[in-house]
Structure 1
């Protein structure tokens, strides 16, 4: 009986340690501005956000804007290369490429492609290519925007995409069954595991992520199936963004940056 009680106490201690551990952050600065959506920052310190469907880049000394209201709502923005920014207008099946001063350098209408494409996810990939999830075939492909060539790299898969993100070499997404997948530029697709229910999420690696649920923010590691509450001094917030050990919290007043070290 004593052994059973000891095992139960040990089990609950481990469970609480895995789920209820809290992190405190160190506030760095606050930047005031009004926006509808916050996109992120680049290595040069520029901030990117959207207001009234206008894409804005802001530095300490200058502001640039890109406006194309005829294409409707901006569905996604990829700023991983500040010299080649990708704006995706899903309603018009179109991608706009911008330079570092938000000048339009290329416009790609996927409806004009010889292979039918109905894009519902896009992002910048390695070698002048774009990641494309083609909803017509339910496959991931790569579109060479210099040659206007499209190559399918995966077999079809089931399930709607709840969230996706990409870098030069990988495309990651969570489907409507909370399954977390990764695809490489060579077409290798891997089921990484299941993730907790979320309102918003950002992948940190292929094992770790940060997610928002209600007014709380959590760090989740797949290897340990461990969830950690992230504490900060905001009672409510619209969005978060993580990069280079900086956690940015976006509210109606602007952004607050926190230093965070992920073990």
Structure 2
């Protein structure tokens, strides 16, 4: 019976395809950080250390930002390096930084009207960020300069795991589904979650993590393919222009992917 259920799952709309995505190890470097946030096309590395400071490291210099009053950084998003957002969940606050890591805007959701209890934050277009309103159980596109919610989703009762976005779409992973929204707040599609706990987006391709394995849902496809990797611990991962970075708490491994 269990075997039959497994076969049916493999042929579901969010099913696992048989062929795999090949990867080639480029290099592995010793590295010690808390969160690896992003690596851009110029190999500039964005990360947090001790969960208290946000750092930008290039070949020539390293700059950092910290806010002692707000304490630990819950998450950071550097998709738009001109408007980097840092989320301090304990204080229900978001800080917007420019590309020099200078503070340009502070969003204190404790004093906004109406009050918002935020649990997840991600980049939007213009002066917006995607937030998940914990009290309303809604995904919202929030304009922080105008202090208005431009769009909001219907309530989502699932347990929220992760959020990713670009200028056009927002991907919300829950314990039950993967939801895909456009910048109008319309639900484009949703997939059943089969044990995935994290995701990353690269050029419309969706990368998903399940334990120490990675999978890809290619753009314009409904078939998930496993990414062929050596055995290693995946504490964090990110993808930039088909280059996969895996952090195992001690080493940062860089792989080149071959996506058809």
Closer/same/farther in 2, CA of residues 197 and 191 from structure 1, 3 Å limit: same
Q: Which residue in the other structure is 1:212 paired with?
A: 209
Shift of 1:127: 2.1
Alpha-carbon distance between aligned partners in 2 of 1:199 and 1:137, rounded to the nearest angstrom: 23
Alpha-carbon distance between aligned partners in 2 of 1:154 and 1:23, rounded to the nearest angstrom: 33
Q: Which residue in the other structure is 1:7 paired with?
A: none
Contiguous gaps of at least 5 residues in structure 1: 1-10
Shift of 1:19: 5.2
Closer/same/farther in 2, CA of residues 103 and 230 from structure 1, 3 Å limit: same
Larger Rg: 1
Closer/same/farther in 2, CA of residues 150 and 215 from structure 1, 3 Å limit: closer
Shift of 1:151: 3.4
Alpha-carbon distance between aligned partners in 2 of 1:214 and 1:139, rounded to the nearest angstrom: 27
**Structure 1, 151-160 or 167-176: larger mean CA deviation:** 151-160
Q: Does 1:110 align with 2:82?
A: no
Shift of 1:49: 1.3
In the TM superposition, 1:1-263 aligns within 5 A as 21-53=19-51, 54-177=53-176, 179-204=177-202, 208-220=205-217, 223-232=221-230, 235-263=232-260
Shift of 1:147: 2.4
Shift of 1:152: 4.1
Give the TM-score of the pair, scaled to structure 1: 0.83
Alpha-carbon distance between aligned partners in 2 of 1:33 and 1:228, rounded to the nearest angstrom: 26
Alignment check: 8 A CA contact 1:115 1:150 kept:
no
Residue correspondences, number: 246
Task: Choose between structure 1 and 2: higher helix proportion.
Answer: 1
Q: Deviations over 1:155-196 (max 9, x none)?
A: 32322212211111221112222x111122212113321133
Alpha-carbon distance between aligned partners in 2 of 1:194 and 1:84, rounded to the nearest angstrom: 32
Alignment check: 8 A CA contact 2:23 2:229 kept:
yes
